Amino acid sequence: MTDLKVEMLAELSGLEFIHSDFQLIALNGGAVNSSYTLQTSDQRYFVKTFESDKIANLDRKKLFDIQTELAAKGMAVKPVYLSDSLSFQIDQWLNSPTLDQVGDSSIIITKALATALSKLHNIKIDAPLLDLPSQWQHYLKLIEVEISDSMQQTLDMYTSIWYQACATNTVFCHNDLALSHVTHEHPNKIFDWEYCAISCPYFDIASCVVVNGFSCTNEASLCAFYAQYSHQRLSEVIDKVSRMKPLVELTYKLWYQAARL
């Protein structure tokens, strides 16, 4: 048993709202973090551990507050408890399949994602500003890779693109909207707010395209629905999402390299 799970079990045992006969059942987690069902005699909860904090510098208390506010707006599941060590969180349980668990057509799925994105981008919420170039530097420091001249030129170019985009338009974003993070119910609820921030909306859309491995057809469908819901020209959305995709791909590449250490 890992040290984190031992620590988690000890802290759970001391919580007044968790009965002594609780069960912790492992679920399929993400690339780094672990997830569990916490079952008591009369309640069920969702528990997520935060191994990813070894990779990303995340303010868990701030994220807990953001998720609480989002839950009040109907966009998220209500968080119940953040551990003293900031190493795990308990959320209310939600019995609803996510978009990756249903057999809907790609059109229905991209429409649901576009709906969720456009709604998110119109929420007014106090969140940190995403400084993507600083994030890249943090990952590169963890990887301890020697940066070549060509790599530095790419970083400089992407940094310029990022700051220009953010100077034009920033909104509240999820930045990791996988199908498994969006419920099938209407209205959708969204999970895993680890990387939410004030950010470029087209980076958020491009992240959704990349993380879900969308084909060109599905990417075009997502952009079309988003343009419709946000009252923008489709050509403008496509162009700006295309500019953000290389930045998303670099971010994911560096994150996964850091996660493998």
Question: How confident is residue 4, by pLDDT bands cut at 50, 70 and 90?
Answer: confident
| 220 Cβ neighbours under 8 A, 6+ residues apart | 238
- The kind and range of the H/E element at 258 are helix 234-259
Residues 52-66 have a mean pLDDT of 88
Report pTM. Answer: 0.94
- Mean pLDDT on 56-74: 95
Q: Are 139 and 238 in the same domain?
A: yes
Q: Are 118 and 242 part of one and the same domain?
A: yes
Q: Are 58 and 159 within one domain?
A: no
- What are the pLDDT digits (tens) for 29-53? 666 778 999 999 889 999 999 876 6
Final residue before a domain boundary, out of 92, 124, 147: 92
Q: Does 121 have pLDDT greater than 60? A: yes
Counted domains in the chain: 2
Among the three residues 71, 92, 113, which one is the final residue of a domain in this structure? 92
Please give the Cα distance from 63 to 102 (Å, whole number): 29
Single out the residue of 230, 202, 211 nearest to residue 115, CA to CA: 230
Tokens of 235: 């050509």
Query: In which domain, by residue range, is 32 found?
Result: 3-92
52 and 145, same domain (yes or no)? no
Residues 111 and 235 in one domain: yes
Residue 163 sits in a domain whose CATH number is 3.90.1200.10
Q: Checking DSSP bridges between strand 35-39 and strand 171-173, what pairing results, if any? A: unpaired
Residue at a domain's end among 58, 92, 126: 92
CATH number for position 76: 3.30.200.20
Same domain, 218 and 248: yes
Both 147 and 119 in a single domain? yes
